[in-house]
A and B are shown apart, each in its own frame.
Chain A
Amino acid sequence: EDQVTQSPEALRLQEGESSSLNCSYTVSGLRGLFWYRQDPGKGPEFLFTLYSAGEEKEKERLKATLTKKESFLHITAPKPEDSATYLCAVRSGNNRKLIWGLGTSLAVNP
C-alpha cells in the first residue's frame, strides 16, 4: 500500500535558522512527488514537483531534493512569513490520485 510519512510533525525555528523537513514514501512506481504549502484554513499551494531520484528544485529560500525513498525540503535562512504547514504528496502508477503525508507545521519566530 502506498504511504507517505513526514517528519517532524512540528518544527519551531528562529528567523535565519536553516533546517530540513523530511518526507519518506513507499509507492509502487513513483510518477511524481509534490510539495505544497498550506496556510491555516486555506488550500494547498503548489511549491515543487520532483520526478526522479537525484532531482533538485529551488525557489527563493526553499530547495527540494529527491532520493528513491525520501524527499527533503530544505529551508535556508527562513523568515516569519515562511510559517505554514508543508505537505508532501505522491502520485504512483497510472493513478492520478495524490497520497498525502500529515505535514510538518513550521513556525519561524522573529
Chain B
Amino acid sequence: EPEVTQTPSHQVTQMGQEVILRCVPISNHLYFYWYRQILGQKVEFLVSFYNNEISEKSEIFDDQFSVERPDGSNFTLKIRSTKLEDSAMYFCASSPGQGNADTQYFGPGTRLTVL
C-alpha cells in the first residue's frame, strides 16, 4: 500500500541553524501539506502546496519557512534560523486532490529538537 515517507526521523539542531525536512508524498497525489505538533498540543496546519506553488498557508508559516518540490518525488520544508519554539513533530501529508473531502494521508513525522 502506498505511503508517505519522511526523513530524517529525528533531527537535532542548534538554535539559529537551518534545517531541511524531507518528504516523499504518495506518487499520484496532487496536494501536499506540512503540519506540526508541539508536544501535548493540537496538530497545526502550516502550508499546502499544489501545482508547484503554495495554495494556502497559516499565520505560523512566516518568512522563516519555505517549501519546495525540487524534483518529481520529493517535497521539502526548510526552516531558516531555527528557534527553540520550533521544536515539534513535523508531519508531511498528501491527498489525491479529488472528491468532496479529499482525504489527507500522513507520514510518520520528523521530530525536530532545537537546542
Interface residues of A (CB under 8 A from B): 31-32, 34, 36, 41-46, 49, 51, 87, 89, 91, 95-102
Determine if A87 and B101 form an interchain contact, defined as CB atoms under 8 angstroms apart.
Answer: no
B101 and A43 contact, CB distance less than 8 A: no
Tell whether A44 pairs with B103 under 8 Å between CB atoms, given A96-B55, A97-B48. no
- Asked if B106 and A101 make an inter-chain contact with CB atoms under 8 angstroms apart, the answer reads no
Q: Is B65 an interface residue (CB 8 A)?
A: no
**Contact partners of B35 in chain A: CB under 8 A:** 98
Number of interface residues, chain B, beta carbon within 8 A = 28
Among residues of B, the one whose C-beta sits closest to the C-beta of A89 is B43
Main secondary structure of the interface of B (DSSP, over half): strand
Does B95 touch A at the CB level, under 8 Å?
yes
Beta-carbon nearest neighbor of A4 in chain B:
B42
For B105, give the chain A residue with the smallest CB separation.
Answer: A46
CB neighbours (8 Å) of B91 from chain A are 43-44
Taken together as a complex, chains A and B put the C-alpha atoms of A49 and B44 apart, in Å, by: 19
Contact A51 B100 (CB under 8 A): yes
Q: Are A97 and B45 in contact (CB under 8 A)?
A: yes
- Check if B103 sits within 8 Å of A46, measured CB to CB: yes
**A43 and B55 form a contact (CB under 8 A):** no
A-chain residues with CB within 8 Å of residue B56 when the two chains form the complex: 95-97
